[in-house]
Amino acid sequence: MYQIIFNESEQGFSWVDVLNPSADELKELSAKYGLHATALQDVLQPEHLPKSEWYEDMHFIIVRYFDEDAPKDFDSIRSMSRKMAIFVRKDLLLTIHRKPNSAYEELKNKYKDGCKFTPYDLTCKIIKSLLSTYELPVSKLEEEIDFYESRIFLKKRIPDLIKNLYLIKRKTNILRKVSNLTQEVIDHMSKETNHTKSKPIYRDLVDYYKKVDTLIETNFDDINNLMNVYISISSQRTNEVMRTLTVFTAFFLPTTFIVGLYGMNFEWMPELKYPYGYPTVLLFMLIVTLVIYVWFKRKGWI
């Protein structure tokens, strides 16, 4: 789908939006607007990461935005996001993407009747609208982290807890990678937005990026800390179980020794024919157990 939002005669530059183009359509665009062949190869790669490059007088940018139909348990950048390619020069703003996005569509509708911005100003606003798509998934991850955090500290059992924590960590890490790569794109754009009129718009983009990036980094730190806490609590529980088992072993070890000694069935055993020998040995075993208990109690082990 080929849409001219406004043309050069109306605005001083053309804004063209292309949705899900074929290889032949891209060749036509290349011939019409003078697009570089290497840039077209990047456009055809759906998994391409964010980047920013110059081809003669044209600035080529790739930005990834969150896919509204992404699977709940996404595990890669490609399954989580979609790519938008942006070609910018003084007389042209060309956007190419495979799938419509509500945030970008809202921006197009807002400025379809014209605006007072330069192509680079609009590029800043486009990137900002694409960054806004990450707010919802980041917010959902934050809610999941809070949910599992409360359950862990309340010591409530949850099936597949460690698996769920790992999935959250993986998703957060994917978002973090995309955010870090997007920062390079935004930093690279600063060279083209240094003039007075563009500075406020560019600064607004930078501020918004920092907001989104801070949310992602916070989630990343929180999930790492939560996993470490969970592992520490699990280790503590294991240590408590082992301590309890050790205490019980200490109680029964001396009595087991005595029973084993008197169970060797030799003809001549101490007090074997003594009428109170059996209860005496039992009493002695009880005294040994009590002595061990008192000793452990004073040590603070039980």
94 sits in which H/E element:
strand 92-97
Among 26-30, 130-134, 279-283, which range has the highest average pLDDT? Answer: 130-134
How do the domains of the chain map onto residue ranges? 2-235, 240-299
Q: What is the pTM of this model?
A: 0.77
Indicate the average pLDDT of the chain: 84
174: exposed, middle or buried (Cβ count in 10 Å: 0-12, 13-18, 19+):
buried
In the block, tokens 């063209």 appear at 16
pLDDT at res. 233: 77
pLDDT in tens, 112-155: 777 788 888 899 999 999 999 999 999 999 999 998 888 887 77
149: exposed, middle or buried (Cβ count in 10 Å: 0-12, 13-18, 19+):
middle
pLDDT at res. 196: 47
The fourth-level CATH superfamily of domain 2-235 is: CorA soluble domain-like (3.30.460.20)
pLDDT in tens, 241-256: 777 777 777 777 777 7
In the block, tokens 């560019």 appear at 202
Q: Which CATH architecture has domain 240-299?
A: Up-down Bundle (1.20)
pLDDT at res. 263: 67
40: pLDDT strictly greater than 80: yes
| % pLDDT > 70, the chain | 91
pLDDT in tens, 160-208: 788 888 899 999 999 999 999 999 899 888 776 555 456 888 899 999 9
